[in-house]
Amino acid sequence: MKVEQIYTGCLAQGAYYIESNGEVAIIDPLREVTPYLNRAKQDDAKIKYIFETHFHADFVSGHVTLSKATGAPIVFGPNANPSFDAIIATDRQEFSLGDVTIIALHTPGHTMESTTYLLKDKDGKDHAIFSGDTLFLGDVGRPDLAQKMGELTEKDLAGFLYDSLRNKIMPLADDVTVYPAHGAGSACGKNMMKETVDTLGNQKQMNYALRADMTKEEFIAEVIDGLLPPPQYFPLNVKMNKEGYEDIDEVLKRGTQALSPEAFEAAANETGAIVLDVRHQDKFAKGHIPRSIFIGIDGSFAPWVGALIADVKQPLLLVTEPGREKETITRLSRVGFDNTLGYLKGGFDAWREAAMEYDTVSSITAATFKSELEKGDKSVFDVRKESEYLSEHVLGANNTPLDFLNDHLAEFPDEPFYVHCAGGYRSMIASSILKSRGIHNLIDVQGGFKDIKETGAPVSEFVCPTTL
């Protein structure tokens, strides 16, 4: 028996490859399925099942494409109602895979179809659970995403989750391995560990949601406390995972059209496409196409695209570093953004060489920022999360979290003001959004709060985030 976690850090997502005696199961695959096909070929094995723990909201799964490529059936848990052919497992239904067995444990709460898959070895011993978004390391799945179903509330779903954990997962042995669908950085939970594999016994000891003496009322209160609104693209990804989607090869074919600067500009004007610049923030600051949006490919790219652009059908035109076009289109498709219409051939250098109009972002070092603060009252906007801001911030700074920047547009003054985040990535995203809205009197602080603090600029007293 082989169990392999295939973890994608930029999505904080774990897919799983299980092989036994020439038969393979894939759990929660990513949209680009070639790695799974190649892995099975390497093992001289056949993909027999594709298991989905639930209808994912934060990414588009590869279940439909992988099933088409292999003929393997897709398996969902009870209550699932996809628009395509699938096995809807009953609670505790068993699936043989070579010498091992996979059992579907219906664990509603995150969503009503949420299912944990229990892997038993050839001797019938419980070996591991693939817990999807039911149980994370250090946390559990948020119970507010499926509350629009009927009359269910987030409290109802949290109650179902409590029962699922107590009745289906916690009775399992401490040496059972936990393989979750997500790790730290995912918006599907709020307190996940950086580790991606653990034992159930350790989780029983340190995961707040698995306290043995916890009442259902206490669980509900703690699980829903501090939940931020989910990103707007989540329901659109659920719809794609439930109803199906275009093959990624077609998405790549459409998106990899190389456009000259003139054709690129014409396409933007004719289609209403957003120009998405994915280069490093320093390069964007020095020169970019007017009104383009910066979200760097080397940061938390896909989640920020989903959170800020939101509409997966929005047409996009790309400015990338030459050679990274296909990577960008693939990573966009992982979160459902399939409507890429092409990219700027030759990158931004070609745009500038064609004598096309371009814009810049005013940017200063943290040391210069400290000097400016010492001259008198300055307007400072911190675009980090509220928890980061409350933990420690520049004295007098306003908190305008990037996730909700559009809600704060009226707060930005007419005179020059400063924008910063933790390290410079998010503040450049914010700067690009503000400039696209016609707000140009901003100054980005390079290096963010990390560099600002090192200059000795006045900041608030540190408060450990876990106590907030």
Over residues 116-157, the pLDDT tens digits come to 999 999 999 999 999 999 999 999 999 998 755 557 899 999
- Give the model confidence (pLDDT) of 342-354 as tens digits: 999 999 999 999 9
Q: What is d(CA 39, CA 449) in angstroms, rounded to the nearest whole number?
A: 43
Q: Which of 353, 371, 402 is the last residue of a domain?
A: 353
- pLDDT, mean of residues 292-307: 94
pTM: 0.90
Is residue 241 situated within a structural domain? Answer: no
Which of 115, 119, 13 has its CA nearest to residue 62? 13
- pLDDT, mean of residues 26-32: 96
Q: Which of 181, 200, 235 is the last residue of a domain?
A: 235
- pLDDT, mean of residues 386-395: 94
Q: What is d(CA 417, CA 154) in angstroms, rounded to the nearest whole number?
A: 40
Query: By residue range, what is the domain housing residue 183?
Result: 2-235
Count CB-CB contacts under 10 A for residue 327.
Answer: 14
Q: Give pLDDT, residue 309.
A: 93
- Asked whether residue 118 falls in the same domain as residue 211, the answer is yes
- Asked whether residue 404 falls in the same domain as residue 376, the answer is yes
CATH of the domain at 415: 3.40.250.10
- Asked whether residue 36 falls in the same domain as residue 83, the answer is yes
Q: What is d(CA 74, CA 4) in angstroms, rounded to the nearest whole number?
A: 19
Q: Which of 334, 353, 372 is the last residue of a domain?
A: 353
- Asked whether residue 200 falls in the same domain as residue 94, the answer is yes
From residue 424, alpha-carbon distances to 127, 379, 383, 401 in Å are: 43, 18, 10, 14
- Asked whether residue 20 falls in the same domain as residue 88, the answer is yes
Percentage of the residues of the chain whose pLDDT score is greater than 90: 89
- Asked whether residue 276 falls in the same domain as residue 189, the answer is no
- Asked whether residue 101 falls in the same domain as residue 68, the answer is yes
Q: At what angle do helices 248-255 and 325-333 cross, to 10 degrees?
A: 140
- Asked whether residue 218 falls in the same domain as residue 273, the answer is no
Lowest mean pLDDT among 228-232, 239-243, 252-256, 357-361: 228-232
Is residue 261 situated within a structural domain? Answer: yes
CATH of the domain at 188: 3.60.15.10
**What backbone phi and psi angles, to 5 degrees, belong to 383?**
-95, 15
Is residue 358 situated within a structural domain? Answer: no
